Amino acid sequence: MHAEAVKGHLDSILLASLEPQPLHGYAIMEAVRAGSHASFDLPTGTVYPALHRLERAGLVRSKWSTVSGRRRRTYELTDRGRRRLREERQSWKLFSRAVSNLLSGAPAGATP
Amino acid sequence: MTAAARSDPIEGLLDAIGARLPGPARPREEILTELRDGLLEVADANQRRGLGHGEAVQLAVRQFGDAPTIAAAFWPEMAAARARRVVFGLFVTGPIVVALWIWAARSRSLGPESGVFDSSLSHAAAVLLIAATIGCGIWAIIAAGHAPLWPHIEPQMALLGAAAMGGVAVVADLAMLSTLSAPLASLPGPVHQVALAAAILASATRLILTSRASRSCLAMRTMT
């Protein structure tokens, strides 16, 4: 899937990938790739600025560690981030149901 | 370009990104350290898929994206860092400069009877300047992020707030220099040249640095 198509949903995708556990940038990319069955293959560099933006918004927090001699920044969801993820999920369900109805070709007013 | 950058595509890309990140050195270094780790992880993964080292690194750089796009995406981070740095510097140096002027005034026995501090107008102006400085600083810090209450405020506003705070600080320093240095130098009494020289030096230094910092904040706003 083209990166542009994912752009508008990148924040939600990143929040969802961090829900199970704290991850560093590359591990987040891998989680997104695996979770989307390799449909989403973003340019790696686009993930890091997005994570910084989420941190500035208070949705994730980061901490530094050293792994195999390399300094590594790991991100985890904040309480605010978890709340936002719940809201995004709810809103996505409504949106996707509406689009599915429209694209299914079912006549208006018909119940699925 | 460094020697490492010439021989290593990863360092070459990081050099190109770093050259496009304006602002304080520390956040820039942290961004580059994080990106380096990410690039090396991608290169390692490429090697695990069977590529040779050189090919794995080249592919990692291609997969990462181009330097101008990545650097531009980090602009809000760098803008917020610059604004925070300027505000922090002004909040720290402000009380020091005021304390030095108070020390200079006391060392010359410059009390209310001297007339220098006896004007309600100068008191009002001082209060106004301090309030404006603190107000601009708080606005800049809020806009610089880590303030979830107002996440929609753009970092451009943080730079504007920091530049405004710098502007008010310049006015305050000019006011102190112009209204206090002459009376302190001319009044009779025990001469405490060190106190007066320290106050003038502190105000003048801050004046120069603040003007430069404010201009750089305004210049950075146009880099988006």
Q: pLDDT (tens digit, 9 = 90+) per residue, B79-114?
A: 888 888 888 888 888 888 888 888 777 766 555 555
Q: Considering the domain boundaries, does residue A108 fall inside one?
A: no
pLDDT at B22: 86
Are residues B54 and B79 part of one domain? Answer: no
Q: Is residue B116's pLDDT more than 60?
A: no
Residues of chain B found within 8 Å of residue A24, distances taken between Cβ atoms: 37-38, 41
Q: Is residue B143's pLDDT more than 90?
A: no
Instruction: Answer whether A44 sits within 8 Å of B42, measured CB to CB.
Output: yes
ipTM exceeding 0.85, yes/no: no
pLDDT at A110: 55
Q: Is residue B65's pLDDT more than 70?
A: yes
Are residues B116 and B56 part of one domain? Answer: no
Tally of structural domains, chain B: 2
- The residue ranking higher by pLDDT, B119 or A43, is A43
Among B19, B39, B73, the domain boundary falls at B73
Among B51, B73, B95, the domain boundary falls at B73
Among B52, B73, B94, the domain boundary falls at B73
Instruction: Answer whether B35 sits within 8 Å of A26, measured CB to CB.
Output: no
* Domain limits for position B8: 3-73
B184 CB near a chain A CB, below 8 Å? Answer: no
Q: Is residue A109's pLDDT more than 90?
A: no
Pairwise CA distance, residues B87 & B140, whole Å: 7
Tally of structural domains, chain A: 1
Are residues B95 and B53 part of one domain? Answer: no
**For a pLDDT cut of 70, what percent of chain B falls above it?**
80
- The residue ranking higher by pLDDT, B133 or B206, is B206
* Domain limits for position A23: 3-103
Q: Which of residues 115-134 of B touch A (CB under 8 A)?
A: none
Distance from CA of B30 to the nearest CA of A (A): 9
Are residues B200 and B140 part of one domain? Answer: yes
Band of residue B150 on the pLDDT scale cut at 50, 70, 90 = low
Are residues B184 and B79 part of one domain? Answer: yes
CATH of the domain at A59: 1.10.10.10
pLDDT at B1: 57
